[in-house]
Homo-oligomer: A and B are copies of this chain.
Amino acid sequence: MPDDPRSPSLAAWFLGPRAENAALLERLVTEALRDHVFWRRNFHPEDGITIRETERRNEGYEDAVATLTQELMGLLAELKRGVPFFSGRYKGHMSFEQTIASQIGYFAAMLYNPNNVSIEASPVTTRLELEVAAQLGAMIGYEASHSWGHLTSGGTVANFEALWIARNVIYLPLAAAGAADQLGVSIDVERLDGTRAPLSELSIWELVNVRDPAVLDLWGRLWSIAPRADVQRALSAHSLSTVGYQDYARRLASAYGDTLPASVVLVAATAHYSWEKIVRALGIGSNQLVFIPVDDRYRMNPDALWRTVRELTASRTPIMACVSVCGSTEESAIDRLDEVLEVRERAERELGVTFHVHSDACYGGYAASVSRRADGSRRTAAEIRESMGMSGAWPDDEWVRGISALERADSVTIDPHKLGYVPYPAGALLLRDRRARELVAVDPPYLLPTQGLDSAEDLFLGRFIFEGSKPGAAAAAVWLSHKVLPLDERGYGYLIERTMVGARRMHAALAEADFGEMRIVLLPEPDINIVCYVMHHPSFSTLAAVNAFNEGIYARMSLGEPGAAPPYIITRTRLQAPMYSGAVEPLLERLGVCGVAEWEASGADGLVVLRSTVMDPFLVASPPAPDHIAGFVSALRTAALASLDKEASG
């Protein structure tokens, strides 16, 4: 869309592949630096000078400056061996350059180095952090008055926190039942059928199957059944977080004479490998991580989810949470979260079970901005298609429904340092119901219990989050970027649209390319902007041969070897069993070298898949911008031929 009125803004958002906006960035950096310098000079000017001018002419001073300058030159030289994420020639991991706004926001705030652990150490940037989280919440459709969120160091910590909170939610009714019993009072809760009953009348199975909002209502009412300190003590005596897993299981067995199987966490088969770290660290155990198969579009299969929930119910296994994915790491697939939520509703109705629904939208969350008009209302699929200049039927209504369902997830994680185009580190955790954060709160000794919203205690983020000290600069970076690129069709929506169009074009170009005797087997068109493919040649008759061939291509199109200078850069992944069972079958069929059984037997090897993330919004720019799609296809052909030669001769 060369005459799209939004196109000139895009030209101003990034430094540019040729550093076209170098003068702009330098002006702003200098401005921010001098502004900070004069802030220092204006602070109690009567204090005079600490570092004297004469001292700065001392030999020792000059030596120290010389060391600094020389070591910096060394570092700058080293950095040039880094990865050219900024270039249209980089088509690998989910990395591109950052918005100028975020770079300058980070730099400006870093000079002040605020610590967002507490408002006292960051009077400005803690508020920016909460504002940023509210913006992300509004983008996905959370109610501003009920939701809450904050930034983290990244997706792993954000997802970890989400599951940590989910665990506290699922077990709260059990703890509350114990606490109420100890205090000799009765308190009721809403059951799945909508009726209310005292906790003491619920079975252990019913207690672990209370809806999140009902649990949080219970939490709120708990504090009035007895003096606050007594409630605190009684709850502590029965909470998993205080008692710990080892004693908790024993107590349940003695209190209910009924030991449930270990609670499980359902995750889409495409879930990031960090989920395994998370369940291990939390003490849940990776055996309790149940992969839900994906369909041939790499989206969680709702029928498979339903079957799993039914089986788990039959064995009375509690489900702690179901983790749906919005923008899978490998394929950028967007789960049909609307269908996942329908499965939960059906489970509540027909099976009497429920669970926390989390969306891991670390990669894809920002794509929700594509669905937003400037006034915040939702665009239709047709509007989006027109805005993108797509002639086909994509993105369709289902795409919009999947993205829109984020507003009904109990928690969502979104990484600004991925499709938010800001520097590391910036992840985010969003809670649909802000009360959930109270369940993991720990009071540091500086603080008395919270005095209410917006009090200094409430703005002491360290109470409610897992991490402690953390950069206020990250909040400033995201904040300024959101100010310049609004989270709708004018800003991020447009930016991400361009990458989606670019990825589709690249997918089409690869499908149509002439690879001679070689063939390309493409994964389906992506839901966002990651293109995956397997190169093939008729001479290969085994999975191992195809894998070696593709590894050879990858080696020629990556920076692995020192001195490597491939014209285009890609990455690769492995589709392994059992996670990709189902999804991988159409690929294996088209490759025709092996069946599912052989693939399953390959274990960690799996099927090697080449992978190109298109975060570059300029991929479909018109001349004089380079045609990186044609260049890429040609480079892939060359690398494939070289790999073929090697395989043939080797």
Contact = CB atoms under 8 A, between A and B. Distances in A.
Given A15-B40, A67-B484, A469-B154, A479 B111 contact: no
B249 A246 contact: yes
Interface stretch (A30-38, A176-184, A380-388, A529-537): A30-38
A47 B88 CA distance: 9
Contact of A469 (B49, B81, B417): B417
A621 interface: yes
Interface stretch (A112-120, A213-221, A292-300, A366-374): A112-120
A37 to B, nearest CB: 4
Contact of A82 (B9, B124, B277): B124
A582 interface: no
A9 B67 CA distance: 10
A72 B105 contact: yes
A187 interface: no
A279 B124 CA distance: 31
Nearest to A244: B285
Contact of A49 (B13, B18, B164): B18
B626 A574 contact: no
Q: How large is the interface on A (under 10, 10 to 19, 20 to 34, 35 or more residues)?
A: 35 or more
Nearest to A260: B246
A596 interface: no
Nearest to A152: B153
Which of A81, A153, A626 has the largest number of chain B CB atoms within 10 A? A153
Contact of A32 (B37, B76, B100): B76
B72 A32 contact: yes
A235 to B, nearest CB: 12
A280 B249 contact: no
A133 interface: no
A130 to B, nearest CB: 14
A590 interface: no
B240 A112 contact: no
Interface in A125-183: 125, 128, 153-157, 160, 164
Contacts of A111: 103
Contact of A240 (B283, B423, B467): B283
Given A108-B72, A484-B68, A11 B51 contact: yes
Nearest to A35: B76
Contacts of A43: 84, 87, 89
Given A16-B51, A67-B484, A449 B604 contact: yes
Contact of A249 (B59, B250, B626): B250
Interface stretch (A199-207, A470-478, A498-506, A516-524): A470-478
Contacts of A581: none
A291 interface: no
A166 to B, nearest CB: 12
A434 B65 CA distance: 36
A415 interface: yes
Nearest to A86: B40
A565 B476 CA distance: 23
A571 interface: yes
A12 interface: yes
Nearest to A153: B153
A262 interface: yes
B108 A76 contact: yes
A405 interface: no
Interface string A329-347: 0100000000000000000
A650 interface: no
Nearest to A262: B246
Interface string A39-69: 1110110011111110110111101110111
Interface stretch (A190-198, A306-314, A436-444): A436-444
A466 interface: yes
Contacts of A48: 18, 624-626
B423 A468 contact: no
A12 B120 CA distance: 29
Contacts of A20: 49-51, 53, 56
Contacts of A24: 65
A44 B122 contact: no
A418 B33 CA distance: 23
Interface stretch (A91-99, A393-401, A641-649): A91-99
Interface in A438-483: 440, 442-446, 448-449, 456, 462, 466-474, 476, 479-480, 483
A559 interface: yes
B19 A468 contact: no
Nearest to A59: B8
A123 B246 contact: no
A286 interface: yes
Given A9-B60, A283-B283, A624-B48, A68 B28 contact: yes
A361 B8 CA distance: 51
B67 A93 contact: no
B11 A78 contact: no
Nearest to A69: B28
Contacts of A556: none
A25 interface: yes
B69 A446 contact: no
A60 B6 contact: yes
Q: Which 7 A-B pairs have the closest CB atoms?
A: A244-B285, A283-B283, A8-B60, A245-B245, A153-B153, A12-B64, A246-B262
16 contacts: A16-B50, A17-B47, A18-B48, A18-B49, A39-B80, A72-B101, A74-B483, A75-B108, A240-B285, A241-B285, A242-B280, A242-B287, A246-B263, A247-B262, A446-B572, A456-B560
Given A71-B484, A75-B105, 16 more contacts: A5-B60, A15-B40, A25-B33, A26-B33, A28-B69, A40-B84, A47-B87, A50-B618, A50-B621, A68-B104, A71-B101, A79-B109, A82-B124, A83-B112, A110-B423, A244-B287
